[in-house]
Structure formats: C-alpha cells, structure tokens
A = this chain, B = another copy of it.
C-alpha cells in the first residue's frame, strides 16, 4: 500500500504554469525527498498528491488506481503543512486527536497514540494550550504530530523541521526515520536542508521551475549529478564552477579559462569544446607548501568545526572548506590544491559529460 504514480501532471493558476509535465513513480514504502529552489513547485506538487489542488492535466494514481477525482479526505494520506494550518480553536491535544476521532478510533487508543507522539516530539507540557499560545517550533511539532498519529498509507511532509533548533531537528529527523522504518509507509518530504535530504531519502527528486531535473539516490545525485543545476543544488555550500575551453598539448590536458589560467585534467576528454568544471568546496585543500594554485582570500567564515574560505582564483569566486579553525584573514594569498578531488565536467548546455578524479594536484587520472 502506498505506491504513487504521477503521469504528465500539470498545474496552472490562471496563466501561471506552476507544474509542467511531472512524471514520477514512487514505490510503496519509499522515502522520497523533494528539493528545489524556493517557488519551484514542491508544495504545489505535494498538494496535488494530497488532493487539495485539482490538476490541470495529467493523471495521478495511488496503488494503481486513478485518483484524480477522489477527494483529499478519501485518499488516506496525512500531511504536514508548510503553514502548519493548526486548528486555532482546539488545544494541542484536540488538534492531535481530531483526525483519529474522525476515523472513529476508540478513546484509549487515541490517548495512547497521542501520548506517544507527544513524547516523541517533546510537546507533552503544552497539550492543553491552544496554537496561539505556542512558539513557532512548538507549533511545527504539533503539525508533525497531527500527521504522525494518523499512521496513514503515505505521509506528505512540507518542510516539517524548518522551525526547529538543530538539536531537536536531529532528534526529530531520527524519529521520522525510525517511524518510516517501523511503519514502512511511503513518505514524501519537502526540505531545504541538505542533511535531511541526504540522510532521510531513499531517492531525492530535484525540481526546478516546475520540472523534475533528476531523480536518484542521495549519493548518486551527489557523485553524478545529471547537470550543472543538480550539481550546484546538491551539496552545501554549492559546487564551484570554472568555465573555459579544453586544450591538449604534449599529452597533458587542461582547461584554459578566459583569464588564461590553466586547470589540469585527465586525458580522455575531447578537446576544443567550451566546458565547465565543477569542484566541490570540500574537495579543495590548503597546501602547506606553495604547491597547488594561488588564491586571494576574500572572506573567511569560521564555523568552529570547519572554516569556509571565500577566495578568488581562475577568474572566478571559489569556495573552499577546510576542517578546523585556521588563522587566515581576508586579503591573504593562500595556496589551494585539488589533489584527489573528483572533477565534474559539464558541456555548454549544462549536461554532465564525465566525472574524473585527480590523482595529485596537477596530474589527474580517470576514476
């Protein structure tokens, strides 16, 4: 129970086309995460699946049955709204109990389920408050609880952890994962948090402007992004992109940027074409000696466990993340290396050509 198939789904608000031709098959029990830039249509797609929006085209089936005309109430799904949509006139307890009472569940079981959810979400002391008397994060937890207690065929969660603190977010995330493991119900989850997406998803769906860009397992997307957009979107901070033309001379292959800087590459790639090379900030390291390439430091962000260096090199801005805390200041010249880093090559239209692995700073080899 819980497979969901979207075929050519379209949705417009008047002249605004929000979803274009969405095709997606979600397996029973799968944990799917939707990611994509703000406004790309994630919530809308969730609402379409929920039955809260009528599609303007395409077909939606749940468990093999066409449900385009089945009302939201009859689809048997539960949803956590991005806007919470808590019942303002009910206490937290009543908010949680409402859906269960609808299903005619016995009192004792309701109490038990609510108790469980409340414990898990740490909202036990607020059970008799109204939503208006709660903090933002508390409200969000009630919204999650309302879906959880239902144990539906599928969960639809729209940025359910956005207002929680890091600690609570981690524990709630773990609870959701545990819940998924236990109930085996399909979950569709919208998030902007990379960690959530990477750790929770069986498959991630990357959306952009109402279209699906790529669907795949987290590491697939991370390691082999289908295009420049996905590459930039998956992984935080985003991948560095260096543009230039391929050149070969004397058996060494390189990318020559507009500024004339040179980036060494493995041999295999066809020469002559203008391409983009993607390099993740985490794969850049500081050289202690003056090997590697020189870069100008523009900004240093100390996160404690790691340091984010905003530098300029190859005529572009380059981000590098190095572990620990470093004594580097804006204006310094540093030497960076990309030894042992995977390089992602994209063609002019942004499509992925290959991913190659450098062996040492200047002589890359194939992976």
The verdict on A305 contacting chain B, using a C-beta distance below 8 Å, is: yes
CB within 8 Å for A13 and B133 given contacts A192-B165, A199-B303, A234-B304:
yes
**Residue on B with the closest CB to A199?**
B301
Chain A interface residue number, banded = 35 or more
Residues of B within 8 A of A282 (CB): 305-306, 323-324
Compute how far the CA of A165 lies from the CA of B165 in the bound complex, rounded to whole angstroms: 17
The verdict on A99 contacting chain B, using a C-beta distance below 8 Å, is: no
Compute how far the CA of A265 lies from the CA of B237 in the bound complex, rounded to whole angstroms: 36
Compute how far the CA of A236 lies from the CA of B16 in the bound complex, rounded to whole angstroms: 40
**Residue on B with the closest CB to A340?**
B324
The verdict on A35 contacting chain B, using a C-beta distance below 8 Å, is: yes
Within A291-339, the residues touching B (CB, 8 Å) are 301-306, 308, 321, 323-325
**Residue on B with the closest CB to A141?**
B38
The verdict on A195 contacting chain B, using a C-beta distance below 8 Å, is: yes
State whether A280 touches B301 (Cβ < 8 A): no
State whether A82 touches B192 (Cβ < 8 A): no
Within A1-34, the residues touching B (CB, 8 Å) are 13, 16
Residues of B within 8 A of A354 (CB): none
Among the stretches A51-59, A68-76, A218-226, A248-256, the one at the interface with B is A218-226
A-B contact pairs, 28 of them (CB 8 A): A37-B137, A37-B165, A38-B138, A38-B141, A38-B168, A39-B137, A41-B135, A42-B135, A82-B136, A137-B192, A162-B163, A166-B192, A166-B233, A167-B232, A167-B233, A169-B192, A170-B236, A170-B238, A198-B301, A199-B303, A199-B308, A219-B304, A222-B304, A223-B304, A223-B325, A282-B305, A282-B324, A323-B323
Q: Per-position contact with B for A149-171: 1 when CB-CB < 8 Å, else 0?
A: 00000000011001111111110
Residues of B within 8 A of A41 (CB): 135
Residues of B within 8 A of A162 (CB): 162-163
Compute how far the CA of A17 lies from the CA of B135 in the bound complex, rounded to whole angstroms: 14
The verdict on A194 contacting chain B, using a C-beta distance below 8 Å, is: yes
Compute how far the CA of A13 lies from the CA of B238 in the bound complex, rounded to whole angstroms: 44
Compute how far the CA of A158 lies from the CA of B195 in the bound complex, rounded to whole angstroms: 22
The verdict on A274 contacting chain B, using a C-beta distance below 8 Å, is: no
State whether B141 touches A303 (Cβ < 8 A): no
**Residue on B with the closest CB to A171?**
B238
Residues of B within 8 A of A218 (CB): 302, 304
Residues of B within 8 A of A13 (CB): 133
Residues of B within 8 A of A164 (CB): 38, 192
The verdict on A185 contacting chain B, using a C-beta distance below 8 Å, is: no
The verdict on A43 contacting chain B, using a C-beta distance below 8 Å, is: yes
Compute how far the CA of A198 lies from the CA of B136 in the bound complex, rounded to whole angstroms: 22
The verdict on A36 contacting chain B, using a C-beta distance below 8 Å, is: yes
- Shortest CB distance A148–B (Å): 17
The verdict on A350 contacting chain B, using a C-beta distance below 8 Å, is: no
State whether A136 touches B38 (Cβ < 8 A): yes
